[in-house]
């Protein structure tokens, strides 16, 4: 019925675009990382110099640390909190669908708008400080303090992202057989017991999935930093990808930037593999 030329006919255009914008760039990125490429200078092969430079640069280490710190704050929250929210909105309650929509809406808001909204929330005379002052905290310039900027950015990410993962968990909660809960209730299981012994084991594959994708997301985030703090104050919110971006498009050190992006790629792979080892011990889960 079908001939090979039909298959290639359909595949040709999409494959051409993938070739130009995905396959070739992947190889090119690797190649560039061994050169001193800068649009205004001739291409020169420099071997491992870029990698050596990166590992000798304090800015590289501090942005790696910023990225890891941000990941440590963001990922556990985005793995655990949405489970709780999904259980809440998975109940038969009046108006629960409206809550789902409200929780999901921030997902759709562009990073630029999010950045603007939260700049005001985190301002010295902003609402966050006001609420904190009610319980006796002092006013802090959240985004201008080098120790508070990453936690503040992490909070914004959690605010924007929990609705997204809530839907993931909701999809997986709806696959849990109802009679399991009924049986547990007859045995007198309370709220926590039910969810610890039934829900969590049943949605384990989704927990693993969310851990992996929120980890990748956290390691790759930089648009929020770019639009909200520009990486400051004094690079204290410069993440690795933001460093890549600045090196490539502001300082035009494209070879060096490519090397850093490859180091990051290796780190993401490593973290994902470790995650997999830790979370996927039980292959049947």
Partner 1 sequence: MAQSAPKETQTPTGAVVKHFPSPEPKRQGSYRSRKLSQKLISYFFLLVIASITVIPFLWTISTSLKSQNDAVFSIPPSFIPSQVTFENYITVWNTLPIPLYLWNSVILTFFGVLLPLILCAFAAFPLARMQFKGRNLVFLSIVATMMIPNEVTMIPVYLIINQLGLMGSFTGVILPGAVTALGIFLMRQAFMGIPKEVEESAVIDGANIWQLFWKIMFPMVKPMLGTLAILSFIASWNNFLWPFLILNDPTMYPITLGLYQLEGTFVTNTRLIAAGAMIALIPILLVFIALQRYFIEAAYSSSVKG
Q: Using CB under 8 A, which residues numbered 186 to 215 contact partner 1?
A: 191, 206, 209
Near partner 1 in 249-268, by CB under 8 A: 249, 254, 257-258, 261-262, 264-265, 268
Helix (H, G, I), strand (E, B) or coil at 35: strand
Classify residue 275 as exposed, middle or buried by CB count within 10 Å of its CB (0-12, 13-18, 19+).
middle
Cβ count near 198 (within 10 Å): 17
The CA distances from residue 94 to 99, 162, 229, in Å, are 10, 22, 41
Tell me the C-alpha distance between 151 and 141, whole Å. Answer: 12
Q: Counting contacts by CB under 8 A, is residue 167 touching partner 1?
A: yes
Near partner 1 in 38-67, by CB under 8 A: none
Q: Which stretch binds partner 1 (CB under 8 A): 59-67, 146-154, 193-201, 216-224?
A: 216-224
Q: Which stretch binds partner 1 (CB under 8 A): 58-66, 71-79, 118-126, 143-151?
A: 118-126
Of the pair 236, 239, the CB lying nearest partner 1 is at 239
Helix (H, G, I), strand (E, B) or coil at 176: coil
Binding footprint of partner 1, residue count (CB under 8 A): 86
Q: Counting contacts by CB under 8 A, is residue 71 touching partner 1?
A: no
Q: Counting contacts by CB under 8 A, is residue 113 touching partner 1?
A: yes
Please pick, from the candidates 79, 121, 225, 243, the single residue that binds partner 1 as defined by CB under 8 A.
Answer: 121
Q: Which stretch binds partner 1 (CB under 8 A): 22-30, 60-68, 72-80, 194-202?
A: 22-30
Residue 55 beta carbon to partner 1: minimum distance, rounded to whole angstroms:
18
**CA 63 from centroid of its chain's CA atoms:** 16
Please pick, from the candidates 45, 61, 120, 196, the single residue that binds partner 1 as defined by CB under 8 A.
Answer: 120
**Residue 33, φ and ψ in degrees, nearest 5:** -65, -15
User: Is 181 in contact with 198 (CB distance < 8 Å)?
Assistant: yes
- Quote the crossing angle between the two packed helices 240-249 and 58-89, to the nearest 10°: 130
Q: Which of 111, 280, 283 is nearest to 212 (CA)?
A: 280
Please pick, from the candidates 56, 91, 282, 284, the single residue that binds partner 1 as defined by CB under 8 A.
Answer: 91
Token reading at 247: 């090196």
Q: Counting contacts by CB under 8 A, is residue 275 touching partner 1?
A: no
**Residue 37, preceding bond cis, omega within 30 degrees?**
no
Tell me the C-alpha distance between 262 and 241, whole Å. Answer: 10
Please pick, from the candidates 48, 116, 234, 285, the single residue that binds partner 1 as defined by CB under 8 A.
Answer: 116
Q: Which stretch binds partner 1 (CB under 8 A): 53-61, 65-73, 140-148, 159-167?
A: 159-167
**Residue 281, φ and ψ in degrees, nearest 5:** -60, -40
Q: Counting contacts by CB under 8 A, is residue 220 touching partner 1?
A: yes
Q: Counting contacts by CB under 8 A, is residue 181 touching partner 1?
A: no
Using the structure block, give the residue that is written with the tokens 């001193």.
36
Q: Counting contacts by CB under 8 A, is residue 142 touching partner 1?
A: no
Q: Which stretch binds partner 1 (CB under 8 A): 53-61, 123-131, 141-149, 273-281?
A: 123-131
């Amino acid at each position: 019925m079908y001939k090979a030329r039909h298959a290639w006919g359909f595949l040709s255009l999409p494959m051409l675009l993938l070739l130009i914008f995905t396959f070739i760039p992947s190889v090119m990125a690797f190649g560039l990382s061994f050169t001193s490429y800068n649009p205004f200078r001739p291409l020169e092969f420099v071997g491992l110099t870029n990698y050596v430079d990166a590992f000798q640069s304090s800015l590289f280490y501090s942005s790696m640390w910023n990225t890891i710190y941000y990941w440590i704050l963001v990922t556990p929250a985005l793995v655990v909190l949405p489970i709780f929210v999904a259980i809440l909105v998975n109940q038969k309650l009046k108006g629960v669908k409206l809550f789902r929509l409200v929780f999901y809406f921030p997902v759709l808001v562009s990073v630029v708008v999010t950045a603007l909204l939260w700049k005001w929330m985190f301002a010295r005379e902003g609402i966050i400080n006001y609420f904190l002052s009610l319980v006796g905290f002092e006013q802090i310039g959240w985004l201008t303090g080098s120790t508070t900027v990453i936690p503040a950015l992490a909070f914004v990410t959690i605010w924007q992202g929990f609705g997204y993962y809530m839907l993931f968990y909701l999809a997986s909660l709806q696959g849990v057989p109802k009679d399991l809960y009924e049986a547990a209730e007859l045995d007198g299981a309370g709220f926590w017991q039910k969810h610890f012994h039934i829900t969590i084991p049943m949605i384990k594959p989704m927990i693993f999935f969310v851990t992996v994708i929120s980890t990748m997301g956290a390691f790759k985030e930089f648009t929020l930093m770019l639009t909200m703090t520009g990486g400051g104050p004094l690079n204290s919110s410069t993440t690795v990808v933001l460093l890549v971006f600045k090196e490539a498009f502001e300082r035009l050190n494209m070879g060096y930037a490519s090397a850093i992006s490859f180091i990051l790629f290796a780190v993401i792979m490593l973290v994902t593999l470790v995650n997999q080892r830790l979370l996927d011990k039980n292959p049947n889960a």
